[in-house]
Amino acid sequence: MTKPLSFSLVLALLVLSGCEGTQLQTAAVDSLGAERDSAQQLVPSWAADAVWYQIFPERFRSADSANDPIRASLQFVEVVPASWEVTPWTSDWYARAGWEREMGPDFYDHGVFHRRFGGDLQGVIEKLDYLRELGINAIYFNPVFYARSLHKYDANSFHHIEPYFGPDPEGDLALIEREDPLDSASWAWTSADLLFLDMIEAAAERGIRVIVDGVFNHTGRDFFAFADIRRNQADSRFADWYIVEQWDDPTTEASEFRYKGWWGIETLPEFAEVENDLHPGPKAYVFDATRRWMRPEVDGVMRRGIDGWRLDVANEVPIGFWAAWNELVRELNPEAYTVTELWQDAGEFLREGGFSATMNYHAFAFPVKGFLVDGTLSASDFARMLTDRRLKHTEEMGRALQNLIDSHDTERLASMIVNAERRVEYEEPDRFDYDWGDRVSPRRDSNYDVRKPGVRERRVQRLVALFQMTYVGAPMIYYGTEAGMWGADDPDDRKPMVWPDLAYELETSHPLGGSRPSDEVAFDVDLFDFYQEVIDLRHQEEALRRGAFDVLHTDDANDLMAFSRTSGSEAVVVILNRSDEAHSLRVALPDDLRGPYRTLFSISEEGHRVQQDETALLVEIPALSALVVKRDGQE
């Protein structure tokens, strides 16, 4: 969700790629998806097997410098100096270019939101094998549609890909200018549009599904309909598409034009609503754009379309619209996945609107921050919160929820852990100050620590990742978390991706001019290998993707928890130690879980031990560690 007090975007991620049995699927994804028994089924068959990866396109990979954005393409070109230029990919994030200093002294107010680094679709294509190697089988893209901002939540169009993500921005803009946006038959396929379709097909060849952000509550001011309103005011053919509060009086020098913007933001005018639905004009346009990207036809040839949508600020769009739109989506592809951005309990909303899942902030990210990141939530309360909130959903939907811990709208996981050590009193204890207010960025909290995480903090990150890959729901990784990236809330969570083939400047600058350590910025091979291993563990064990979840043991005094994942005769037990000390524990096993166990995975190479008596596992586990064991005799 774009944030009112910063330049936010919402991660949106929807892309669950299929697995067959217990092996990560290596065959190409079928072009249209398997047929469903019923088009009304909301959760596609592949959703439980997905491991998601969220890509913020402008910051993932630049492969073509010829398509880099130019100053004229910026959202607020009138305030940007003529000396503006694309920011080097590998530069110190907090160091300021000359054109930024010309704008003013403040890092956040004078420049950073006008930066462009040149990420593009060809860069994504070139790194699909990297994602496949990591174990990803589903991608969620933040908005890819034509827009002026870096985040693209201020769309100029829903039916064209951002020209500067493609190979010929100038040519694409000329094509767009010649078409009638209300006549879908006149819509051209630009070079960026076609490259996007190529990317979808290249991903499918690697068993990776693709979903994109749908932002149907608001647009940008240069969106064709709103641009016409700005020119023609009440005489515009789109005059009733938006919530206009006052028209301009042409007889005065001042502009009286007023309209409703999302959360009062003038650059994000909101669509009008009619009787629990979007206005018929924007609704019809959104439906046409939905058809275009789900069933693309180019020169009479059907191309592979997207596999679903992530829906921005979904609860701020009428539920009647969503019910009709989701019905259309499943007519186009019964195996499509639609996921909402909701930060609260979403169970009833998902069912009424016909969605597959939600980004699981409420039932995953919040409790994980409390127990594993901050260490303030007790093990028993953690277990209780997980269970109570998960049970608000059906079993099928619970397995499809996007289990994320960080995104484009939050601090990065590594920086959450670094700043958890400050132990400040919560302002919002129900969410453990997850992405809350002034606590998540040096922009408003001068004590926020911008440094690189150390050894202990990386151990906590591994503990979070292991739990993410063994819990109920489809895990989602924000780009670069697996590579060791850190950063405060936006814009600092949107640094350019760290790649092993690039040499980066040291991060020595501080956004407020303060002192800080000099931190090396480099791809973290060891952390990547760890993520690769725990993702593979999930792919190999069906019980971790589709099995039942039961809490076996909690110890609040020692921050210990054990749980089982079971599917048929297959049984996997996970033991977590969140404390800074090694512990021994006895995990009692119910009758149906007894039998000999072997170790599948351990965060720590040494210091762990698993023995058994007739009714329990006898475990020795190092500090800040986890063990995964499986009942023997099972492949």
pLDDT tens for each residue of 375-421: 999 999 999 999 999 999 999 999 999 999 999 999 999 999 999 98
Query: Is 142's pLDDT higher than 90?
Result: yes
Distance separating alpha carbons of residues 155 and 463, to the nearest angstrom: 38
Give 516: exposed, middle or buried? Use CB within 10 Å, 0-12, 13-18, 19+: middle
How much is the pLDDT for 437?
A: 80
Q: Are 578 and 624 in contact (CB under 8 A)?
A: yes
Which of the two residues, 241 and 31, has the higher pLDDT score? 241
What is the average pLDDT value for the chain, to the nearest integer? 92
CA distance between the termini of the chain? 42
Q: What are phi and psi of 559, to 5 degrees?
A: 55, 50
Distance separating alpha carbons of residues 316 and 433, to the nearest angstrom: 23
pLDDT, tens digit, for every residue of 71-99?
A: 999 999 999 999 999 999 999 999 999 99
Structure tokens at 246: 């006052």
How much is the pLDDT for 508?
A: 97
Q: What beta strand segments (E) does 215-350 contain? A: 244-246, 258-259, 297-298, 301-302, 308-311, 337-340
Lowest mean pLDDT among 10-24, 294-308, 366-380: 10-24
Confidence of residue 20 (pLDDT cuts 50, 70, 90): very low
How much is the pLDDT for 292?
A: 98
How much is the pLDDT for 501?
A: 97
- Starting from the edge strand earliest in sequence, which strands make up the sheet with 209-214, in order? 357-358, 337-340, 308-311, 209-214, 138-141, 52-55, 474-478, 402-403
Confidence of residue 18 (pLDDT cuts 50, 70, 90): very low
Give the dihedral sign, CA 89/93/95/98.
positive
Query: Is 460's pLDDT higher than 60?
Result: yes
CATH number for the domain running over 548-631: 2.60.40.1180
Residue ranges covered by each domain of the chain: 19-217+277-530, 224-264, 548-631
The predicted model gives 411-434 an average pLDDT of 92
Task: Return the HEC string of 96-148.
Answer: CCHHHHHHCCCCCCCCHHHCCCCCCHHHHHHCHHHHHHHCCCEEEECCCECEC
How much is the pLDDT for 23?
A: 32
Range 32-71 burial, b when 16+ CB lie within 10 A, else e: ebeeeeeeeebbbbbbbbbbbbbbbbbbbbbbbeebbbeb
Query: Is 12's pLDDT higher than 60?
Result: no
How much is the pLDDT for 34?
A: 34
Amino acid present at 470: T
How much is the pLDDT for 21?
A: 32
Name the percent of the chain lying above pLDDT 70: 93
- Fold agreement (19-217+277-530, 548-631): no
pLDDT, tens digit, for every residue of 233-283?
A: 999 999 999 999 999 999 999 999 999 999 999 999 999 999 999 999 999
The alpha carbon torsion through 321, 474, 455, 487 (nearest 10 deg) reads: -20
Distance separating alpha carbons of residues 111 and 101, to the nearest angstrom: 8
Distance separating alpha carbons of residues 379 and 463, to the nearest angstrom: 14
The 8-class DSSP code of residue 520 comes to -
Residue 177, Ramachandran bin (φ over 0: left; ψ between -120 and 50: alpha; else beta): alpha
Name the percent of the chain lying above pLDDT 90: 91
How much is the pLDDT for 29?
A: 44
Confidence of residue 634 (pLDDT cuts 50, 70, 90): low
Alpha helices by DSSP H, 209-302 = 224-232, 280-294
Regarding beta strands 301-302 and 297-298, do their DSSP bridges make them parallel or antiparallel, or are they unpaired? Answer: antiparallel
pLDDT, tens digit, for every residue of 327-385?
A: 999 999 999 999 999 999 999 999 999 999 999 999 999 999 999 999 999 999 999 99
How much is the pLDDT for 27?
A: 38
Cα dist. 482→264, 437, 456 in Å?
Answer: 36, 26, 16
Confidence of residue 106 (pLDDT cuts 50, 70, 90): very high
Distance separating alpha carbons of residues 242 and 628, to the nearest angstrom: 54
How much is the pLDDT for 414?
A: 98
Distance separating alpha carbons of residues 363 and 403, to the nearest angstrom: 9
Topology of the domain covering 19-217+277-530: TIM Barrel (3.20.20)
